[in-house]
Amino acid sequence: MLARREIASLRAEKTIVLALLIQLFVAAFSSFLVVGLVSLYDPGSVEGYTVDIGVVGDESSVADLRAAVEETRGLDTRTYDDAAPARAAFDRNELDAVVRAEQTGSRTTVTALVPDSDVRTTLVVVQLRDALRAYERAERAERSEHLSAEPLALPPEGRSSPYYGFTYTVLLPLLLFLPVFIGGSIVVDSVTEERERGTLELLRAAPLSTADIVDGKTLAAAGLAPVQAALWVGLLELNGTSVANLPLVLVLVAALSAVVVTLGAALALVAAERRVAQLSYSLGTLVLFGGTTLHEDGPVGLAARLALGSVGPGATLVVAGYAVAAVVGYAVLRRAVSRVDLG
- Residue 32 is a binding residue for another protein (CB under 8 A): yes
Answer whether 54's CB lies under 8 Å from 78's CB.
Answer: yes
State which of positions 298-337 bind another protein (CB under 8 A): 298, 300-301, 304-305, 308-310
Q: Which is nearer to another protein, 74 or 298 (CB)?
A: 298
| Span of 134-142, 226-234, 247-255, 332-340 interacting with another protein by CB under 8 A | 134-142
* Residue 45 binds to another protein (criterion: CB under 8 A): no
- How far apart, in whole angstroms, are the C-alpha atoms of residue 187 and residue 185? 5
| Residues 210, 214, 219: CA angle, nearest 5 degrees | 150
CA–CA separation, 183 and 188 (whole Å): 9
**Which residue number, 32 or 209, has a Cβ lying nearer to another protein?**
32
Residue from 175, 250, 261, 267 in contact with another protein (CB under 8 A): 267
CA distance 216 to 8: 12
Q: Give the residue among 250, 254, 256, 234 at the shortest CA–CA distance from 306.
A: 250
Of 81-89, 204-212, 248-256, 317-325: span binding another protein (CB under 8 A): 81-89
Binding mask 49-78 for another protein (x = CB under 8 A): -------x----------------------
Which of 73, 290, 321, 335 is in the footprint of another protein by CB under 8 A? 290
Residues in the chain: 343
For another protein, the binding residues in 205-244 under the rule CB under 8 A are none
* Nearest approach, Cβ of residue 84 and another protein (Å): 8
Candidates 24-32, 226-234, 248-256, 320-328: pick the segment binding another protein (CB under 8 A): 24-32
Question: How far apart, in whole angstroms, are the C-alpha atoms of residue 177 and residue 302?
Answer: 12
Choose which of 272, 313, 341, 343 interacts with another protein (CB under 8 A). 272
CB 203 within 8 A of CB 213: yes
Residue (37 or 209) nearer to another protein, CB:
37
For another protein, the binding residue among 5, 11, 275, 335 (CB under 8 A) is: 275
What's the rounded Cα separation, in Å, for the pair 243 and 305?
A: 10
Supply the DSSP string of 242-285, one letter for each residue.
--SSHHHHHHHHHHHHHHHHHHHHHHHHHSSSHHHHHHHHHHHH
Judge whether 191 and 269 are in contact, CB under 8 Å: yes
Q: Are 216 and 2 in contact (CB under 8 A)?
A: yes
Q: Which of residues 90-129 bind another protein (CB under 8 A)?
A: 90-91, 93, 98, 100, 104-119, 121-122, 125-126, 128-129
Single-letter amino acid code for the residue at 44: G
14 CB neighbour count, 10 Å cutoff: 10
Kindly give, in sequence order, each residue whose CB lies less than 8 Å from that of residue 323, ignoring residues fewer than 6 positions away.
251, 254, 255
**147 is a contact residue toward another protein (CB under 8 A):** yes
Q: How far is the CB of 207 from another protein (least distance, A)?
A: 25
CB atoms within 10 A of CB 296: 9
C-beta of residue 10 within 8 angstroms of C-beta of residue 186: yes
Count of residues touching another protein (by CB under 8 A): 120
Partners of residue 103 on adjacent β-strands:
108
Identity of the residue, 122 or 230, whose beta carbon is nearer to another protein in the bound complex = 122
- Determine the interface stretch with another protein among 137-145, 202-210, 224-232, 321-329 (rule: CB under 8 A): 137-145
| Listed ranges 45-53, 254-262, 263-271, 317-325: which one lies at the site for another protein (CB under 8 A) | 263-271
Residue from 85, 247, 291, 321 touching another protein (CB under 8 A): that is: 291
User: C-beta of 239: minimal distance to another protein in Å?
Assistant: 13
